[in-house]
Structure formats: structure tokens, C-alpha cells
Chain A
Amino acid sequence: MQTLSYKPVFLLLVTMLLPLTFLACDSTEPDEGPGEEELITTITLTLSAGDMTQTVSATDPDGDGTDFQIETITLASGTTYTGSVELADDINDEDITEEVEEEAEEHQFFYMVGGQASGRVSVSITDKDDNGLPVGLEFTLTVTDGGATTGTLRVVLSHFDEEPKNGTDQSDETDVDVTFPIEIQ
């Protein structure tokens, strides 16, 4: 009896150590796959007045603010501009503008002017979704007469996934929030 009982112990040891041998070589080395996560990296504003067109962009190539670059919008006094906005994911080479167009009922851009320019510059949205509510991919920007000054234009893209879009309130889910410096000449 005493000698017999050593056998199970030996078996026990072997069974315990066996899984170690074939699992120990599993690799954790990462694969260099393409990024698949949606990430807005560039917002571009196009402003046209007459035959003059300027594009101003803000780029955040990693999406985390590490190399965030914002260009300055230069405006002329007493001018009305026709504006549009474009969004891109440069990492995955995707145009996010189309996605916003397709889901226009769930998105809205908000344009807020700050600083000394706030009395001089106004933005009104010209496009509407199927419910007749503003989208903001198209807009007009008006600069009243006056001297040279500076200010800011904050562009916010709200995503309405849960809350219903009512055309005036922002949602709790912001996809883009960029503040461009403005110079009025």
C-alpha cells in the first residue's frame, strides 16, 4: 500500500508540470497592424469671399494633443464669407465629413466667437438636416466694419447619440472642440 501510493504522486507532478512546457513559448510580441480606431485628426475651414478663398486647419496627428497645431483665421472688415468645414482621419485616411453628412440628424456644429472680435463677427448656419434643424457643414461668416482687432472662433461638433437634437443645445458628447485665433485686418 505504502509503495503503491507513490505512483499517483509522481503522476500528479508530471500532470502539473506538463502544461508549463507547451504554453511557455506563447509570444506577446505585438503585430504592427493598421490603426482601426476612428479618430478625427484634422478640421479644415474653407472661407470664400468673391474670388478669394482661404483654408485654415487645425491638426492633431495623434489625436492626443501631442503635436496639436492650429492656424490663424485672417478676416477682412466689412466682408461676408461663405464657409464650409471638413473633417479627416489622416491615420486611417478617411473623410469624416461624409459620415457627418450621412448622420446629419445626429450631428451639429456650433460656432462661437470670443474675445474682442465677438461684437464684430457672426456666424449663421445655412444647411439643414431632414428634420429642418441646422447641421453647420455650411455657413456664412460676417465681419462688420471697424478697425483691426483679434479674437477667437470656437468650433464644436456635438454628437447626438442619446439626447435628441433640438438645434440650439450642445450634447454631452463632443467629437470636436477647437478654438481658432482670429485676426481682423
Chain B
Amino acid sequence: MKSILSACRIRLILLLVLPSGATWSQQLAGRVMHGEYQPLHGVHVFVPALMQGTATDSAGYYTLDGLPQGTLTVEYRFVGFATVVRSVSIGIGRTVLDVTLEPEELELKELIATAESPGAELNRATLSVSSLEPEELEKLRGQTVAEALSHLAGVTTLTTGPSIAKPVIRGMHSQRILVLNAGVPQEGQQWGGEHAPEIDPFAPVRIELVRGAAGVEYGVGAIGGVIRLEPRELPVVPKVAGSVSVNGFSNNRQAAGSALLESAVRVLPGLGWRVQGSFRKAGASKTPDYVIGNSGFSELNGSLALGYKGDNFVLNSYYSLFNTELGLFKGAHIGNFDDLQRVLQRGEPSVQYEFLYSIEAPKQTVRHDLFTLSGHYNLGSGDRIEMQFGLQQNHRQEFDAHRRYGNPIDDPAFDLRLTTQTFDVKFRSFPRGSYFGVIGLSGMNQGSVNVESGYLIPNFRALTGGTYARGTWVRQAWTVEAGARLDHRWLKAYPRVNQRGPYTRVTHSYTSLSGVVGTIWQFSRFWSVSVNLGTAWRPPGVNELYNFGVHHGTAQFEIGSSGIGGERSYNLDMTLRHVGRNSSLEVSAFNNWMNGYIHLFPEPEPRVTIRGTFPSFRYEQTDALIHGLDGVAEFSFLGFLEFRAQGSVVRGVNRSTGMSLILMPADRLTLSKVLNLPNLGRFRSSEIELESTFVRRQIRYPKGVDYADPPDGYSLFEVGYRVEIASGTSTIQLGLSVQNLFNTVYRDYLSRFRYFIDDPGRNVVFRLRLPIG
């Protein structure tokens, strides 16, 4: 205790020495409390304009001397609590300001309330973390979650034609990424590159992206990163309000819309609800030269939220439904390897397709139901218990063009149902001295059933359980965290012998540790540096164990290896952050050592079948290293001109052979300029944005493994205009933008259909958002 106090004094003296200029004699004093009776000791009280600060004493009191008269902004920052920023008018003599702090709701420190506070931003997390706030998401509405996320540094998309996009974080995707939806891990079917995450892009959430291994916090599978979808807080005011969004996209003639209504309940204070629904309907996309036949989609989603906030507890329930039907480009449905060679030589589709909204086979339909129940209970001591339960079912049907008896459009080739229950219970301590921590238990029960005989993955049952503890220590400019987690997975699978043979029953079990140590050092008012060393693991997926057959679209024969073990990542991440008055910067360097990295390795002999010859690949393990650099820098000049630069570099190497890893994203750089225009009558906050994206050709790839060399690099340009129109008390938001402005012909290396088609051409996007109530 004593040492903390003396350290505070040293810092106070230092800070008081720093500011130059005249001295003033006004004083600001007050008390910082948690609730009504609990004083907070060691809260940082800071006046950014004067670079002057202090800390509260053991009774929660603080005094700031030598202040000028006038209005000042004061920050109150304390670990585990949401930072409060207050504007105070300093009169002659002594001004009193008492403040109450509330514990933070989110596990990672919340950004919304503290956007103006550089301290919070600089001390956000020891790992590299970014977020897309609801207002930023609004600018990207109508696109998939993966496409929205690709606006963040280090994220690219793995696409299978225009209708399927998966997020790739620092070169990793699918089962190496965890999606956390309303607090529970989203358990969809991520068996292949053509299986996109099942998420409503209009869902009223903020999205948080964690780059790198985060196994302690999020459990098995969080090797490459975590995408957190956090539903917005429910309203507390009993007034029905909401919004309607309408989008139009010219390229695929897509119409999309969403409506939302929410309110608190007058007769039962503390009870709030929200209803939301959305749709997207698109026809075939167009490249600059031709229509991509059968690439339309049709999506219908909705969600319901109901929550109650009591005196010392909170209970929230959330249900969401995702429903999609999407077509796959017909020309990618090939028979064998010779067919692929013919397509590659031709360079474009053999047929001129017409624009159509209708979807034919090959197609997929996916329905995902998710229900979560979460709550926390505040113990009298300030500690709290948090609980979460999730129940979800994913139903995926894949329709093949014509390898079926009967009608291919009604009769799926694959029909998989995955049901998952998850729970998580944790105890989160109230800060004691400079420490606070979390201990928890979590579990998952999962079953997957093949309804049809078509065999992609075997039926399986998996049970996973884990326990974890994590602690954080904060003193002055330093934050140190450490944690460990133990998980066990038991898997029972029913694979067939060689796809058509009799069913067998095999059980596997895996037990392993995850760990993290990290630190943040805020070495100046505007700068911090953080280092995080984390280790995470994942057991092999059922597809990696038991796949057996031809992968459509790429004519490759994939063979699982039932003997392979888990994959482990040791990830070292270093992040430099800067938040200034007119500039900000976040740059991360990462080194991810992957032991037992599971990948498809070409077999020496191709597979010869009655349908022809297929190159054959088997799931194998090797040691790999994925490393790189990503970051974003922003500057604003004179308040009306903003510049932003964002880039990412990823390198993947097979440590045993020295060869590059396949499908690593190419180097990319995005530059954007925003010009804020002056308000004109009812037209407010209008801005023009110019964005250019430069992608290099991927020159690091394993030679002789892929069917075609990586495509050339490309540059894309986008221009957009956004405006808010005041109408009475409400504001209408309007946006118009043109993507791929010059209708550039290009193919991205991470487009799985790059063997067959170009990526889509110019797209004019219209967005309108009307408030209700």
C-alpha cells in the first residue's frame, strides 16, 4: 500500500513539473466512488489539456491544484472500470466534483465510452485488438461480416465466388479462428473454404477483432484470432425507437434491408427488448467482361433480445436466426483434373451467362439458430459471478448439379446438422490493490449428424471441458497480465471405411494447456507498447481426420489422416500504439510458431478413378512459422481532412522444408482520404472519401503444388459520399459509393475460383438509414 502511494506521489510531481507557462491558483477536488459507499483508491485523475494529474487516496479523495479558470476536461481512469470523462467549469478558488465509476461490462476494455480518452485506448489489451463500432458498420452495411472485417488491418477474405466470403486473420481461417456471438462460440460448419460464417451482417452489434492466439480467454481453437460480436446494450428509456436501413448494390442488383425496434418496458423498470430483422437478395455478379452464372444469394435473418437489469444482477437472452440460400458459379463444377486444365487454358467461362436472380444447383442452403442466455450477479464485495449458456443448431445442405437420382434441386448431396450446447461460468474479482482476476469453467456438448448418405464428414459427438484463471496487475504506467487454461476434448466419430464401406466407431481424446503472459507499458502520455506471448491449441477437425473424396471446384482428392494430433501455436505479438490530438497509430509485429500445423500435402501419385485422374492431397502435420506486420495510421489536418494508411504483410514458412505455405494473403496497403464538408442547412456531417487499395502479387508460394501461379497484383479505387440530413428531431443518413471505380479486371490470390473467373467489377452502392421514433 505504502509503496503505491509513494509511487503515485512521484508521478504526480513529475506531471506537475512538466507543464510550462503561467501558474494558476484554482483547485479541483472531489471523491471517486464505486456505488454509494465504496471509495476507490488509486484512480487516475487527469487533465489532458494541462498534462496534469493525480491519484485518489485510500478514502477516494483527490485534489488538483494550480488550475486555470474556465472549462476543463477531466478523465477518471481505474482498472476494471469504465473510464469517465467529465467537462467541468473551474471557478475561482475550490471546485468540487464527485464521480462514480461503474465496472466494465466487457472482458476487453470498452471503447465506446472512452473514445476521447487516449489512456484507455493505449492500455486496451496486450494483444492486438481492433473494433468496428455500430456507426462504422453502418457504412459497410449490406456486405458480409467477412467483407466488413476486411476493412481492418491484417484481415483479408477467402472467397468462393461472389456469394461466399470467409475472414482470414493474419493468414489463418476456418477452424483456426473463433467467432464469439453474443458471448458464446459460434459453432457452424467450417469444414471447407466454401463454408462462410453464418452471421447476419445487419445484426445490431459491435465487432471486436483479436489477432493472434487467445486460448486462455476463449478456449480451444483460438489459434489465429477471435471475432467477437457483442450485441448492443438494451435501452433503459421506455420509448419505442428504432431504424430502417435500405441498401442497393448495382453489380449484382442486390437489395438489402434491415429494421430494428427497441424499448424499455415502462411497467417494469430494468426490462428492455429489441426486435430486428434483415434480408439480402442478390442476383448473379458481373466481372468487367461477363456475368458469373448462378452466383446470386438470398438471405433472411432476424434476432430478438430481452434483458433485465436488477439492482445487483443482469440477465439477458438473445435469439438469432440466419437463413441463406446461395448459388455457386456453375462453370466451377468440373469433372476431373483434365477439365480443370482445359478451363485454366481457356482463361474464361466457356458459356456467356445471363443475369438471373434465380439460384440453381450447385447451391447451398444454411440455417443457423442461436440462443444465448447470459447474466451476472454482483456479490456484495464488488466481485461478480458471470454465467453464459448457448444452444445452437446449424443445418447445412449442399446441392450438387446432377450427380443424384431424382431432382438435384430438392435433393441435397450433403445434409449436415450440427447441434451445440455451451456453458461458461466465471468469477470476476473486484480490484484489490492493483490486482484483479477471473477464474472460470466452461464446457461444450456437440453432435453432428449426416442426414443424407453423401459423405463429407462422418457423424460425431464431441465433449469439451476447460478451466482457466487469468490475473491482471496494474501500477502506474504498467499493466501485466498472465493466465493459464486446461482443456480436454473427447471425440467419438463414426467414419466409413473408404467412404462407402461399413461404419466404424473411433474415439479420440485430447488434453492440453493454453497460456498467456502480456504487458503494456505506457511510456508517455501519447504512446504505449505492449508485448503478448500466448500459446493456444486446437484438436484436429473431423474433416482433417476423416475426409475422403473429391473436393468440388478444385478437382482435388482429399484424404484425412486419422492419426494426426493437435496443433499448437506459440504467438509473440508486439504492438506499438499512439493516440495524439491529431494522429493515431497502431502497429503490430507478430511471430506465430505453429507446431503440428495441419495442412494438405500433395501425395506422390495422383488418384486414378473411373471419372479420371485427380491430384491427391493428404492432411499432414508439419512445423510452420507465420510472421508479419500490420498496422494503421491516421492523421487529421485542420479538422476537415483526414488521412489513413493501413497495411499488412504476412509470411508463412514450412519450417521442415523451408517452402512457403500455400494461400498466404499477399502484401496489401490501403490509403484513404476523407474530406469533411461544412454543414449546409439541413445537410450535416457530410464527407467525401477516396480509398485506394494496392495488392501485390504473391510471390511466396510452394512451387508445383498449386494448379496455377498466383495472379498478378492489382489496384482498386473507391469513392464515397455520406451525409446526414436533419429532419425534425431525427437524422436521416444517406451514402453513395462506387467500389472498383475503374472496373478493373483482377483476380485475388485468395479467391478459390481464381482458376475460373475474375473478381467482380464496378459496384455502385446506395445506403439509406431512417430513424423511427
A binding-site residues for B, Cβ under 8 Å? 1-2, 5, 8-9, 12-13, 15-17, 19-20, 23-24, 26-30, 32-43, 58-66, 68, 91-92, 94, 156, 159, 161-164, 170-178
Residue in A29, A32, A34, A173 whose CB lies within 8 Å of B334? A173
Residue in A42, A68, A176 whose CB lies within 8 Å of B608? A68
Known contacts A33-B453, A40-B611, A172-B335; A64/B548 CB under 8 A:
yes
CA distance A15 to B548 in the complex (A): 41
Q: B387–A13 contact, CB under 8 A? A: yes
CA distance A29 to B452 in the complex (A): 13
A residues in contact with B25, CB < 8 Å: none
Q: B313–A64 contact, CB under 8 A? A: no
B583 to A: closest C-beta gap in Å: 46
Return 19 A-B CB contacts under 8 Å, by A number: A5-B310, A8-B315, A12-B313, A12-B315, A17-B389, A19-B391, A23-B419, A28-B447, A36-B405, A36-B454, A37-B453, A38-B403, A61-B500, A63-B611, A64-B550, A162-B293, A171-B335, A172-B339, A177-B613
Most buried by B among A2, A13, A20, A177: A177
B residues in contact with A63, CB < 8 Å: 499-500, 609-611
Residue in A1, A40, A163 whose CB lies within 8 Å of B610? A40
B333-371 interface bits toward A, Cβ cutoff 8 Å, 1 = contact, 0 = none: 111101110110000001100000000000000000000
Q: B387–A20 contact, CB under 8 A? A: no
B residues in contact with A64, CB < 8 Å: 498-500, 548-550, 557, 607, 609
Q: B375–A172 contact, CB under 8 A? A: no
Interface residues on B, range: 35 or more
Known contacts A16-B389, A37-B404, A64-B549; A8/B350 CB under 8 A:
no
Q: A159–B335 contact, CB under 8 A? A: yes
A residues in contact with B336, CB < 8 Å: 174, 177
Other than A20-B423, A37-B403, A159-B335, give 6 A-B pairs with Cβ distance below 8 A: A5-B310, A5-B312, A8-B308, A9-B313, A33-B453, A162-B351
Residue in A8, A58, A66, A175 whose CB lies within 8 Å of B335? A175
A residues in contact with B612, CB < 8 Å: 156, 174, 176-177
CA distance A62 to B449 in the complex (A): 22
The segment from B146-154, B457-465, B655-663, B670-678 that touches chain A is B457-465
B residues in contact with A32, CB < 8 Å: 502-503
CA distance A8 to B308 in the complex (A): 10
Q: B335–A173 contact, CB under 8 A? A: yes
Q: Which residue of B lies closest to A106 (CB)?
A: B402
Known contacts A5-B310, A24-B445; A177/B611 CB under 8 A:
yes
B559 to A: closest C-beta gap in Å: 10
B666 to A: closest C-beta gap in Å: 28
CA distance A20 to B557 in the complex (A): 39
Please provide the 7 A-B residue pairs with the shortest distance between their CB atoms, ordered closest to farther. A174-B335, A177-B612, A60-B610, A65-B609, A16-B389, A28-B447, A172-B339
Known contacts A41-B610, A176-B610; A26/B405 CB under 8 A:
no
Most buried by A among B339, B403, B453, B611: B611
A residues in contact with B351, CB < 8 Å: 162-164
CA distance A158 to B554 in the complex (A): 18
Query: CB of B163 within 8 A of chain A?
Result: no
Q: Which residue of A lies closest to B403 (CB)?
A: A38
A residues in contact with B350, CB < 8 Å: 162-163, 172
A24 to B: closest C-beta gap in Å: 6
CA distance A82 to B494 in the complex (A): 48
Query: CB of B413 within 8 A of chain A?
Result: yes
Q: B500–A62 contact, CB under 8 A? A: yes
A residues in contact with B452, CB < 8 Å: 36
A residues in contact with B549, CB < 8 Å: 64
B residues in contact with A159, CB < 8 Å: 335, 402
Query: CB of B421 within 8 A of chain A?
Result: yes
Known contacts A15-B373, A62-B500, A170-B342; A20/B609 CB under 8 A:
no
Q: B315–A173 contact, CB under 8 A? A: no
A181 to B: closest C-beta gap in Å: 13
Q: A12–B375 contact, CB under 8 A? A: yes
Interface of A is mostly: loop
Q: A172–B342 contact, CB under 8 A? A: yes
A residues in contact with B454, CB < 8 Å: 36-37
A residues in contact with B461, CB < 8 Å: 28
B residues in contact with A28, CB < 8 Å: 447-449, 459-461, 492, 494
A60 to B: closest C-beta gap in Å: 4
Chain B stretch 401-429: residues in CB contact (< 8 A) with chain A? 401-405, 413, 419, 421, 423
Q: A20–B339 contact, CB under 8 A? A: no
Residue in A13, A26, A162 whose CB lies within 8 Å of B419? A26
Q: B389–A19 contact, CB under 8 A? A: yes
Q: A38–B405 contact, CB under 8 A? A: yes
CA distance A58 to B609 in the complex (A): 10
B305-320 interface bits toward A, Cβ cutoff 8 Å, 1 = contact, 0 = none: 0001011110100000
A120 to B: closest C-beta gap in Å: 25
CA distance A53 to B720 in the complex (A): 74
B422 to A: closest C-beta gap in Å: 10
Query: CB of B450 within 8 A of chain A?
Result: yes
Known contacts A5-B312, A30-B450, A62-B498; A16/B391 CB under 8 A:
no
Known contacts A24-B445, A37-B403; A16/B335 CB under 8 A:
no
Q: Which residue of B lies closest to A179 (CB)?
A: B608
A16 to B: closest C-beta gap in Å: 4
Known contacts A12-B315, A19-B389; A35/B453 CB under 8 A:
yes
Query: CB of B651 within 8 A of chain A?
Result: no
B546 to A: closest C-beta gap in Å: 12
Query: CB of B330 within 8 A of chain A?
Result: yes
CA distance A136 to B253 in the complex (A): 43
B residues in contact with A33, CB < 8 Å: 453
Q: A35–B500 contact, CB under 8 A? A: yes
Q: Which residue of A lies closest to B371 (CB)?
A: A19
CA distance A156 to B502 in the complex (A): 31
Query: CB of B331 within 8 A of chain A?
Result: yes
B residues in contact with A176, CB < 8 Å: 610-612
CA distance A1 to B458 in the complex (A): 53
Q: B498–A66 contact, CB under 8 A? A: yes
Chain B stretch 582-622: residues in CB contact (< 8 A) with chain A? 607-613
CA distance A87 to B84 in the complex (A): 76
B393 to A: closest C-beta gap in Å: 10
Residue in A8, A40, A174 whose CB lies within 8 Å of B310? A8
A83 to B: closest C-beta gap in Å: 19
A residues in contact with B607, CB < 8 Å: 64-65
CA distance A178 to B313 in the complex (A): 70
Known contacts A8-B315, A30-B503, A173-B333; A68/B610 CB under 8 A:
yes
Q: B331–A16 contact, CB under 8 A? A: no
A residues in contact with B290, CB < 8 Å: none
Query: CB of B377 within 8 A of chain A?
Result: yes
A residues in contact with B447, CB < 8 Å: 26-28
Residue in A5, A8, A30, A171 whose CB lies within 8 Å of B494? A30
CA distance A73 to B19 in the complex (A): 97
A residues in contact with B315, CB < 8 Å: 8, 12
CA distance A44 to B747 in the complex (A): 43
B residues in contact with A58, CB < 8 Å: 610
